[in-house]
Every structure is written in C-alpha cells, then in structure tokens.
Amino acid sequence: MPCTTILVGKKASNDGSTMISRTDDGHFDVKKLIVVEPKDQKKKYKSVISHVEIDLPGEPMRYTACPSVDPKNGIWAATGINAANVGMTATETITSNPRVLAADPLVVYKKAEKRGEKDVIGGIGEEDIVVLVLPYIRSAREGVLRLAALLEKYGTYESNGIAFNDENEVWWLETIGGHHWMARRVPDEACVIAPNQFGMDAFDLEDAFGEKKEHLCSADLREFIAENHLDLNQGGAFNPRDVFGSHTDMDHIYNTPRAWFMGRYLTPKSHRWEGPEAEFGPESDNIPWALVPDRKLAVEDIKYMLSTHYQGTAYNPYSSQDTGKRGMYRSIGINRTGVTAICQIRSDVPAPIRGVEWVCFGSTTFSAALPVYTNTDKMPAYLSNVTLDTSTENFYWGSRLIGALTDPHYAACIQQIERYQNAVAVEGRRLLLEYDRRMAETGDYALTHEANEKLCDMAKRETISTLNKILLEASVRMKNGYNRADN
C-alpha cells in the first residue's frame, strides 16, 4: 500500500522521545482507533488474502490498533503501541527488482484451478503483521526478531518496510524477496525518511554476522547475494538499495520526490537541495536514508512533513502560479489516506504513560493530529465507534468531510484549516501536560480514560466548528450561485 514513513531517534527529538510514523495510504479505507484486550486476541490467526493459518503465543499483551471498519478484506491493524510501551507501524510498501524476486519469489496465494488440486497458501503481509507481532514483544529489537522468524517460516507476498520503537531504540526492517530480510537500528541522532522504496543505503554485514548491535539480517544473506549475483556495488562498498531495491522512471515521479522534500525540510543548512549546486534533486537516486536534522524535531514537524504537497516549490498542485510543473510529483499528503499515526514513546514521564499515539484520519493536508494515551482498556467512541456511513459523530468522517470540502476551494479555506490544526495541537498538548502532571503526582493512571475523553471532546468541538466554516465557504463558491444584479 503506497505510504510514507518517518522515524526519529531519541537524540533527534525535542523531548528525548522516539517516534515512528506512517501515512496509511489505502483506497479511502474507513479506519478506527481501538484497544485490543488479551481476551480478544485470537489463539489462531487466519489471513483473508493469503489464507495462511498461524498459531499464536498464549499470553498476548493489550495493544492499540487502527483496523479497517469493514472486515471483509481482513484486519489491517496498521499501527499501535502495546502495554510494554513498544510501538509498531506496518507496512510501508517498498520496491525491489527482478533479480531478487526471481531468486526468492514472493509467496502468493493461488487458488486451485482443477479438481483434485489444492490451493497454494500464501505468506503474511500488511493485512496480518501488526496482529501477529505487536501483542508479543517487549522491545523494538524483539519486534524485529519475531517478525523475522515469521518471514522465514511463512514468507511474504509483498515487499514491505516495518518500524518498531521503544523508549530507547527505533528499528527498521525491510523484506528481501519472499523470505529474506534485513534490519537496522536507527541512529539516535538521526531521522529516517522512507517513501515506498527500499531505503537502506548502508549496512554493516560484519556487525550483522558478529555482535548484532545495530544490524540484523537473514542468516544466509551473504550466500543469497553471492549465489544469485545480486551485488552491483563497486569498490567494496555495500549499498543495500542498489542490491535489493529499484531505480525506475516511476520511482522518480512517485517516490524519490517525497524523500527530496522531506530531506529539504530536515537539513536546509547542511545540504543543498535546490539550484545548480544542489547535492540532491527530486529525482535523485542517492538521497540518504537517514539524516541528522539541522534542529531537533517535535511531533508537529512529523505531522507537517506527512501533510506536505511541495509547498514553496514549483511542484505545488495548489499553487496559483502556472509554473508548468504543478502536480508533476506525487504529494505526501494525499486524498486517499485512511489513517496517519505517530507512535511516540516518551522517557520523561512515568512508565504507565510513556506511550502516546497521535492519530490523524483522512488527508493529512487538511486533518488535525490528536494525541491519546495508549495505556487504557478502551478508546473514546469518537475514535473507535466509526461507521461505514458518513457521520459527523466520529473523528474519521469529520476529517474526511473537511478534506473533501477544502480541496476544491484551497485558497478560500486553507486559513481555516491552519487554525483548526493549530487549535487541536495546542489544546491537545495542554491536556497532555495537565494529565501528565496529575498522574505523576497521584499515581492514578486510570486518569488516562478521563484524559482521552477530554481530548476527544475537544477534537469534536473543533472539527464541527471547522466543518461549519468550510461548508459555508464551499457553498458560497458553488457554480450555480447567482444574484439578480448579475450581468
């Protein structure tokens, strides 16, 4: 599923937290935010898409999830934080190349074509991975190892990147063909940008096959590379992106421009992104996977990057100037996003309230990000009781309505959107500060229920108020608006 991922190490953030984030860019999937209790986690899992059946461990933890409201295509839990304060987002669809996919084919479900034949069961994929992994891990590294074991046993039917974070570490795993994989610990001082491509541009094989401090991979990866003549690198350097990834014309329109815009935002001083002396352009194949940002990053920076549409450049589809390049590159904030989540694990608060999930539904360009505490046994109805029918009674549909009404009237409505997003961010942070202090002082962590309800009440007020204003603007600008004095 086309998505955009940003990962932030603890020394790159303003408050020492780790953050993993991703836009879940489906096809207008209706999503919700729920809590899954251990009693509700199935003992045996069966995938709708691949039909694979997997026995699950006996003691799952509680976790949050953003599943699809319509279960016909499976759960698609997308992202969440568990009771051990481990976050996960799955998956970022990535690219590969024919050499890799021929050497280790994807494990795709095939229905029997003739009587007497059996179906060929497929591997695991985005539909399944959060449910199979998140309830059973107590660190980001454990997440890599559990997922790796599942990939090696069952395989996967798609190429994916998956992120994990805990209080101290962020890890990124990328699949290689049907069964192989590699994973890196994100440097504490760095931010990773991943726009639907195989991203890692460096990997220490000596560490992966030695101490395994910051690099992990399939046990036979060296042999797999050598036997299938996959190494395209020169001069002894090992660049996994060149070995396992792609450099296609489609990448240059759909993927690399997103990395360019995010890199431009992160390091405007330490790298040149524009002009004849630019180190990197929108179609560069060598944009770094990890960058040390010129300044520390807050949640608002992550939300901004995941909402962008090349503003300030010739490629902005909403520009009033005809640059000849408007809309030529795929924006990060797009219309069909179902949910965007920023899983933040903090270290400056007591353990029971370290996990905060910032959730944003619909097109991030026009939606607000709402924080909620994840150490709770139930999410407010405004987030969890989402219907398939349009309604203003939940955050998902309110966000979708605002986006659809604003897009055709961007110039008239964008100021209202900025006020809306800022109001939710300000009051959201204020309530977090208030309840952080109250819970730290009293030790009453059941207050997460009260805090989340207040956060959702606030979001509902701001969303309805903004929807009223945007609807009026859109109504005034309808094509069938006439006055008697018109000539």
Task: Write out the catalytic residue numbers.
Answer: 3
**439 vs 301: CA distance, rounded Å:** 27
β-partners of residue 162 are 90, 173
Please give the single-letter amino acid code of residue 381.
A
**193 vs 250: CA distance, rounded Å:** 18
Give the residue from 92, 151, 153 showing the smallest Cα distance to 126: 92
Give the residue from 457, 437, 462 showing the smallest Cα distance to 447: 437
CA angle, corner 311, sides to 310 and 313, nearest 5? Answer: 75
Please state, as a whole number, how many other Cβ atoms lie within 10 Å of the Cβ of residue 166.
Answer: 26
Contacts for 137 with CB less than 8 Å, ≥ 6 apart: 82, 84, 86, 88, 143, 146, 164
23 close to 364: Cβ distance less than 8 angstroms: yes
**135 vs 64: CA distance, rounded Å:** 9
Please state, as a whole number, how many other Cβ atoms lie within 10 Å of the Cβ of residue 44.
Answer: 8
Residue 473: in which H helix or E strand, if any? helix 447-476
Tokens read off for 19: 């953050």
**448 vs 455: CA distance, rounded Å:** 10
Rg over alpha carbons for the chain, rounded to the nearest Å, is 23
DSSP for 184-235, please give it.
Answer: EEPPTT-EEEESSS-------HHHHTTT-SSEEE-TTHHHHHHHTT----ST
| Greatest Cα pair distance in the chain | 81
Q: What is the dihedral of CA 121, 125, 131, 137, to 10 degrees?
A: 110
